[in-house]
Amino acid sequence: MSKKGILKKRHWACFVYPDSAPENWRDILAQKGLQCAVSPLHDKDITAVEDEKKPHWHVIMCWPGPTTYNVALGITKELNAPIPQPLESVRGYYRYLTHKDDPDKYQYDEKDITTINGFSILDFVELTANERDIIKGNVLTIIRDKDIREYSVLLDYLQDSGLMKELSIAFNNTLLFTAYIKSRKHIHDMTTIKDQRITIDRLKQETIALRTIVSKQT
């Protein structure tokens, strides 16, 4: 057996091409029990000579322990994909899924990254304080824009939307987001009460004015 065949890594990457992959290729990965991250479809990449590249997905495949090249190769064969590549840095390759650190290339939307079997980039990185604050700000924006009024609704929305980094931050900052939601509900309720009082006062004034008109006519 070649040295390449016995090379062991926990994390592997590969390309998947829409025109050659089986329709259920994501299901194949899911059934293997692998945690995976799949890039947005790279359909706007160009070569060094300005030619369009063949549309493709980048896929990160993660095993619970070191796995040989031959095992990873067996999976890429099932996907009709090129040979797998070992990964030294999951975080670095995850950022490459959208060309985050390569501004000269087309910038894909991180929200379009999909995951399989609970893959979370937070399992592979330690966010900086600044990165955590940015994600907290994103969650606050979601609460405001979606007019979320319950913490449970926030968690459901983040999970259903596949926003796993935001979901993890929400898990670990329950007091912050609960207090923010409660404060917004309080402001909304006070505004509603104020509007109701204004409406009642206006009706009272209109009633008094109407009575005055009626009394003058009689």
Tell me which residue range forms the domain holding 114: 3-125
Residue 200 tokens read as 């009642």
Q: Residues 114, 164: one domain? A: no
Where does a domain end: 85, 100, 125?
125
- For residue 87, the model assigns a pLDDT of 95
- For residue 211, the model assigns a pLDDT of 58
- For residue 193, the model assigns a pLDDT of 54
Q: Which residues does 168 contact at the CB level (< 8 Å), separation at least 6? A: 120, 122
Give residue-wise pLDDT tens across range 54-109.
999 999 999 999 999 999 999 999 999 999 999 999 999 999 999 999 998 999 99
Q: Which position has the higher pLDDT, 186 or 101?
A: 101
Mean pLDDT of the chain: 86
Where does a domain end: 88, 104, 125?
125
Q: Which of 20-24, 34-38, 93-97, 117-121 has the lowest mean pLDDT?
A: 117-121
What is the DSSP annotation of 167-191? HHHHHTTHHHHHHHHHHHHHHHHHH
Give residue-wise pLDDT tens across range 152-162.
999 999 988 88
Q: Residues 141, 109: one domain? A: no
Q: Residues 8, 106: one domain? A: yes
Q: Residues 93, 175: one domain? A: no
pTM of the predicted model as reported, rounded to 2 decimal places: 0.64
Q: Residues 53, 65: one domain? A: yes
Residue 195 has pLDDT above 80, yes or no: no
Give residue-wise pLDDT tens across range 122-141.
788 777 889 889 999 999 99
Decide: residue 213, CB within 10 A, 0-12 exposed, 13-18 middle, 19+ buried: exposed
Q: Which position has the higher pLDDT, 210 or 38?
A: 38
For 186-202, what is the mean pLDDT? 64
